[in-house]
């Protein structure tokens, strides 16, 4: 009995589809993104609830990988392409191709106000570096903070570099793209605490952080815009402990997120 739908080679149309997903406009068009690597693909296969997104639609892998994972693949309905090394090099985004690559559905956008109600939320203004965003998503997932908002001019969460840097956390953390001012001026926001992260403000280690709050982080180069000042309840900062040059101009935004997430969980 055939337990999954397997194809012996990659068709020209599938090759074009995979390559097109390197560009955001085609990811948006097809509502698909690429995931490469054994660990992250297995993370997707193990998810019990992928309703609305993060479902593997097609999978490209060598025969050995397919054989080792046949019991997990059985009954999934995933279209599987048995792929040799030269073919993997043609479709991979990586210098060293991984043994498996998957086409994964992008979740439908959630209802921002309803989804974020009562939850701790990390909010990012114009975050541009894919590596930073990927690390932030991975960090948020580690600390169980499952809601991230990005301004529309931020990098795409389904960019290949972002996806790789998340190390699978992308399936556990919901990402929303919306105008931050619209979010902060929306229903129920006046009652919520909004912390802005700055180079000057209250020492994070002396602040009792309110549960279910929003944390605003600025652009890597320019910080938070002053247009958000009317919405910010408290300004917080992470103090340097080095002597002399104060350890550099500022922390990398992904590093700052790690510190603040740790403080959130420390209560």
Percent of the chain with pLDDT over 90: 70
How do residues 128-160 score in pLDDT, each as one tens digit?
999 999 999 999 999 999 999 999 999 999 999
CATH architecture type of domain 5-105: 2-Layer Sandwich (3.30)
In the chain, domain spans? 5-105, 112-266
Domains 5-105 and 112-266 agree in fold: no
pTM reported for the whole predicted model: 0.91
Superfamily of domain 112-266: SPOUT methyltransferase, trefoil knot domain (3.40.1280.10)
* 147-150 β-sheet, strand order: 174-177, 147-150, 121-124, 214-217, 194-203, 234-237
Q: Dmax of the chain from CA atoms?
A: 71
How do residues 36-59 score in pLDDT, each as one tens digit?
999 999 989 887 445 557 999 999
Cα 117 from Cα 71, distance rounded (Å): 40
**pLDDT of amino acid 147:** 95
Cα 262 from Cα 258, distance rounded (Å): 6
Cα 193 from Cα 210, distance rounded (Å): 7
Q: What H or E segment, with its residue span, contains residue 210? A: none
Sequence-separated (6 or more) residues with CB below 8 Å from residue 84: 62
Supply the Cα-derived Rg of the chain in whole angstroms.
21
């Amino acid at each position: 009995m055939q337990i999954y739908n397997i194809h012996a080679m990659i068709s020209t149309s599938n090759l074009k589809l995979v390559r097109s997903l390197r560009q955001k406009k085609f990811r948006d068009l097809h509502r698909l993104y690429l995931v490469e690597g054994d660990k992250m693909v297995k993370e997707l296969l193990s998810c019990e609830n992928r309703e609305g997104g993060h479902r593997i639609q097609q999978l490209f892998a060598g025969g050995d990988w397919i054989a080792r994972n046949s019991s997990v693949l059985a009954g999934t309905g995933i279209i599987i392409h048995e792929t040799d090394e030269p073919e993997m090099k043609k479709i991979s985004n990586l210098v060293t191709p991984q043994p498996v690559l998957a086409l994964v559905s992008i979740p439908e956008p959630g209802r921002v106000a309803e989804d974020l109600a009562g939850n701790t939320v990390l909010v990012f203004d114009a975050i541009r570096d894919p590596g930073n965003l990927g690390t932030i998503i991975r960090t948020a997932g580690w600390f169980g903070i499952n809601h991230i908002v990005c301004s529309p001019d931020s990098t795409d969460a389904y960019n290949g570099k972002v996806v790789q840097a998340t190390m699978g956390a992308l399936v556990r953390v919901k990402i929303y793209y919306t105008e931050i001012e619209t979010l902060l001026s929306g229903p129920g926001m006046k009652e919520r605490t909004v912390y802005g992260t700055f180079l000057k403000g209250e020492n994070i280690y002396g602040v009792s952080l309110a549960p279910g709050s929003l944390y605003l982080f600025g652009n890597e180069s320019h910080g938070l815009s002053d247009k958000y000042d009317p919405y910010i309840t408290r300004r917080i900062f992470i103090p340097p402990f080095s002597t002399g040059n104060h350890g550099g101009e500022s922390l990398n935004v992904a590093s700052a997120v790690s510190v603040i997430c740790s403080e959130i969980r420390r209560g």
